Amino acid sequence: MITALVTDQPIAMQSLSDSVKTIQAGAVATFCGDVRDNDANKAVTSLTYEIHPTAQKVIEEISHRIASKHEILGAAVAHRYGPIPIGETAFAVVVSAVHRGPAFAACEEIVTTVKAELPIWKYQVFADGTTEWVNSA
C-alpha cells in the first residue's frame, strides 16, 4: 500500500510507520525531516512552506513511481505546509520491505525525488531580520 499526502496538520511518525508494517516486512526504513533552528550558519526563527495546488497529485505520482521501481511492501510519504514550529516534522517517508536493501533504496529515492520535484517553497525568517525563499522541499 502506498499513501502520500501534503497536509497542514502535524505529521505523526508512529502512525506513518504503523501504516506500512506487515508481518512480511523484515525492514522499515524511515526519514524524518524536522524544522531546525539554523540554516547556513544563521539562526532561524520561523519557517513556512507554501504549496502549489498540484502538490497533492505530484507527491502521489512521485511516491507510486518510485515505489514501483523497488521490491517494497508499502510506503507512506507526508509533507507539511503552512507555518511549522521549530522542532516539528516537515517531511517524512516510511518504507517497508522484506529486506533492508530495497527499503533503504526506496526511502532515499523518494526523499531525493520529492525534494527535487514537489512544487513547494520554503520561507525562512532569520534572527537577524533577514528572510529567504527556497525553492525546495
21-53 residue pLDDT tens: 999 999 999 999 999 999 999 999 999 999 999
Report domain extents, the chain: 2-134
- CATH node for 2-134: 3.90.1170.40
Overall average pLDDT of the 94-101 stretch: 98
Read off the pTM: 0.95
DSSP string, the chain: -EEEEEESSPP-HHHHHHHH--TT-SEEEEEEEEPPSEETTEEEEEEEEEE-TTHHHHHHHHHHHHHTTS--SEEEEEEE-EE--TTSEEEEEEEEESSHHHHHHHHHHHHHHHHHHS-EEEEEEETTS-EEEES--
Quick one: pLDDT band at residue 137, thresholds 50, 70, 90? very low
43-96 residue pLDDT tens: 999 999 999 999 999 999 999 999 999 999 999 999 999 999 999 999 999 999
